[in-house]
């Protein structure tokens, strides 16, 4: 396994304060928990097709300086994590 390899297991931890929607606060990749220190961009992605899922996308910076894209597919709440590799390429991991 190369130094660029990213584990295939990822989990997104969320927090909801008051009546606000849940927001991601950390990403757990393998056994490493990385806190989100900044949300660089966020968007809600929808289509004109009835019955299609809505996606909430967050581009975040983690406490180790890396960045990743988090996409939450609604209504089932499944997360897709795209972690940026040091070389600038990306890898995607779906979480449950």
Q: Is the alpha carbon torsion for 7, 93, 33, 69 positive or negative? A: positive
What is the average pLDDT across 24-43?
92
Q: Which two tokens stand for residue 65?
A: 């300086």
Domain positions in the chain: 10-94
Tens-place pLDDT, residues 37-82: 999 999 998 887 777 888 999 999 999 998 888 989 888 888 888 8
Does residue 13 register a pLDDT over 90?
Answer: yes
Contact between 8 and 23 under an 8 Å Cβ cutoff? The reply is: no
Q: Full-prediction pTM beyond 0.75?
A: no
């Amino acid at each position: 396994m190369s130094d660029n390899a990213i584990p295939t297991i990822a989990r997104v931890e969320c927090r909801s304060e008051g009546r606000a929607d849940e927001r991601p606060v950390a990403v757990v990749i393998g056994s490493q928990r990385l806190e989100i220190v900044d949300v660089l961009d966020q968007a809600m992605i929808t289509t004109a097709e009835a019955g299609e899922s809505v996606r909430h996308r967050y581009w975040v910076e983690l406490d180790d300086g890396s960045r990743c894209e988090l996409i939450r597919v609604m209504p089932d709440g499944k997360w897709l994590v795209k972690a940026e590799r040091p070389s600038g390429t990306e890898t995607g991991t779906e979480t449950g």
